[in-house]
Amino acid sequence: MRVKVDASKCQGHARCWTWAPNLFHLNDEGYLDPGDIDVPENEELNARRAVKGCPERALTLEE
Amino acid sequence: MRAVAHPIPDHVPETLVGQFNLFTAPGMTPTPMGDPHAAIGMLLSGPPIFFAPGNTRNGEGTWVVVRAEDQRHVLQDGVTFSSNRNIFSSALGEDWPMIPLEIDPPAHGHWRSLLNPLLSPRRVMHLEPIVRQRAVDLIEGIKAKGTSCDVMQDFCFPFAVSIFLQFLGIGWERLHEFVDWANDLLHGTPAERTAAAHTIVAFLDDLRDLRRQEPTDDFMTFVTQAEIEGRPLTDLEVRGMAVLLFIAGLDTVAAAIGFDLYYLAQNIEQQNSLRAEPDRILLAAEEMLRAFPTVTPVRRATRDVEIHSVLIRAGDLIACPSMTANRDPKEFSDPDQIILDREDNRHVAFAYGPHRCLGSHLARREIVIGLEEWLARIPEFHIKSGSTPMTHGGFVFGVENLMLDWSAKEAN
Ligand code: HEM
Ligand code: SF4
């Protein structure tokens, strides 16, 4: 599973980080940097929640 | 007293003129035991966009965009939909923006780069102990005085103000003075509002000048020493930021905690379940932010543009109430049900787009900590019999006079 990140849409709500702090690294200004994220199996549930939690629709799931 | 509604502009079709208005519609005026979120939720059964005459303090009408997806489209596009309105300064007969709210992209981004680190999720974690201490001090003070209180005046409002003072590096001993100013500014008569606005601006200007001379380790020192695009900030820019922080984080936080306690006082089973399982407060607070959001962002169109084939002319105002987006059935299942364990919850209480609430991470901690400490320290509470809470609409929804009583449980 991968999470596709559209960093231009990220506005730093940090909802992804709340669900999965180990997957989503916010930079000093609080935004996600560009770059898709590989999801290890044990984080799949949290990754799904993170994607569904992003108000800006900056994240999409690729299974 | 409110300003007279401006005439409806000629390009607005008569069929799209609505009855609703954030200030005067049923449920928006001060209402005993009101439910303003249900009242405005009625808009979801109407057209996705309509015109609301007199929908601002100065009487100007606005378009209202009802649905979440359309609001996202408006709020993500800060170039077409500008927030440069100078509302605070124009009320004083002056002309300077509140920063970053009234600055448009791309300049807006420089301000956010400067300010975001101050209120990042990680920074907020460091503020946590002091936020908790303020909550505990206030609640223990209330308990020492009896088994009932007006939770808005005794807890929600001073709690929010005390965090702001902490941020500005001002001592706790000035709390009551600030609470009075904030009350006048946000809830006073027009004359009180103007007087309070002048007082607050003068205070913040003095503090700025003091910190320029005697730097310490606080927000004001940081902004007086900061640079934007390679130059120091002007006096008016520092003022524009400080005033916005004052306004943005007081009523909003107080109202959020107020609506939550109002709900929990009327839903005892939910109240007791959160008290018994405080780990659930984190998700519950998100659900209550969804169900009881308070803010309506407003934008001005910078060019002619269509939404749902409706022509918006350059210069028109557009309001995006978070309350309707958060109860949009296209976005949430059972939107009118309050489901405290709801997981899929990309609500819009803190807006969408570049102006996403700068204080959202702090606000979330304040709400969660406020609820945790209140529920841990105050036994089962109810609305005090004989008292009548009042709710109101407007640009920031709120609860007034929320008298809570826990004498029955205390006696056991
Ligand atoms: C539950 C509490 C709060 C709610 C519901 C809330 C809501 C909002 C909303 C909806 C906006 C967007 C306004 C717009 O786009 O027109 C906003 C912006 C803002 N908020 Fe909050 N807010 C809260 C607490 C706070 C706190 C505690 C602070 C300060 C520490 C704060 C500081 C700001 C600032 C500076 C902006 C402007 C951001 C920008 O324009 O880039 N807010 N807030
Ligand atoms: S939830 Fe979305 S907007 Fe928020 S930080 Fe994550 S990617 Fe960015």
| pLDDT tens per residue across span B10-62 | 999 999 999 999 999 999 999 999 999 999 999 999 999 999 999 998 899 99
pLDDT band with cut points at 50, 70 and 90 for residue B170: confident
- Tell me what pLDDT residue B57 has: 84
B298-330 residue pLDDT tens: 999 999 999 999 999 999 999 999 999 999 999
Average pLDDT, chain B: 95
Which of A29, A30, A55 is closest, CB to CB, to B346?
A: A55
ipTM above 0.85, yes or no: yes
Q: What is the mean pLDDT of residues B333-341?
A: 97
Report the distance separating Cα B227 and Cα B225, nearest Å.
7
What is the rounded average pLDDT of the residues B153-173?
90
Percent share of chain B, pLDDT over 70: 99
State the burial class of residue A59 (Cβ atoms within 10 Å of its Cβ: 0-12, 13-18, 19+).
Answer: buried
Pocket test for ligand 2, best of A9, A56, A61 (most atoms within 8 A of CB): A56
* Confidence at B150, pLDDT banded by 50, 70, 90: very high
Residue B209 sits in a domain whose CATH number is: 1.10.630.10
Q: Which of A6, A10, A11, A51 to mutate to test the interface with B (most CBs of B within 10 A)?
A: A11
Whole-number percent of chain B with pLDDT over 90: 86
Tell me the Cα Rg of chain B: 21
Domain assignment present for residue B356? The answer is yes
What end-to-end distance do the CA atoms of chain B give, in Å?
Answer: 48
Contact between B404 and B148 under an 8 Å Cβ cutoff? The reply is yes
Task: Evaluate if residue B412 carries a pLDDT over 70.
Answer: no
- Range with lowest mean pLDDT among B61-75, B170-184, B386-400: B170-184
Question: In A, which residues are within 8 Å of B105 by CB distance?
Answer: none
The reply to whether B379 falls in a domain is yes
- Of B113, B356, B361, which is closest to A29 when you measure between CB atoms? B113
SS3 B298: strand
Q: Quick check: is B127 in a domain?
A: yes
Q: Collect all residues with Cβ–Cβ distance below 8 Å to A11 and sequence separation of at least 6.
A: A31, A55, A56, A58, B352, B353, B354, B356
- What pLDDT was estimated at residue B323? 98
Does residue B24 sit within a domain?
yes
Sort out which chain A residues have CB atoms less than 8 A from B112's CB and list them: 29
Domain that holds residue B326: 14-411
Work out which ligand 1 atom sits closest to the CA atom of B353. 15
Which of B69, B37, B121 lies closest to B290 in space, CA to CA? B37
Contact A11 B353 (CB under 8 A): yes
Q: Which of B130-144, B165-179, B214-228, B325-339 has the lowest mean pLDDT?
A: B165-179
User: Does residue B409 carry a pLDDT above 80?
Assistant: no
pLDDT in tens, A20-57: 999 999 999 999 999 999 999 999 999 999 999 999 99
The confidence band for B398, taking pLDDT boundaries of 50, 70 and 90, is very high
Please say if the pLDDT value at position B375 is more than 80.
yes
pLDDT of residue B167: 84
Give all domains of chain A, ordered by start, each with its CATH number: 2-62 (3.30.70.20)
* Within a domain: B4: no
Reported confidence tier of residue B2, pLDDT bands at 50, 70, 90: low
Which residue, by CA, sits nearest to atom 19 of ligand 1? B357
Average pLDDT over residues B125-133: 94
Looking at residues B107-111, what average pLDDT do you find? Answer: 97
Q: In what order do the strands lie in the sheet with A2-5?
A: A37-38, A2-5, A59-62
Q: Which residues touch A34 (CB under 8 Å, ≥6 apart)?
A: A5, A7
Tell me if B377 is assigned to some domain: yes
pLDDT tens digits for B218-250? 899 999 999 999 999 999 999 999 999 988 989
Q: What is the pTM of this model?
A: 0.96
- A48 touching chain B per CB within 8 A: no
Count how many domains chain B has.
1
Q: Is residue B7 part of a domain?
A: no
Residues of B in contact with A32 (CB under 8 A): none
User: In which band, very low, low, confident or very high, does the pLDDT at B411 lie, cut at 50, 70 and 90?
Assistant: low
- For residue B299, tell me if it sits in a domain: yes
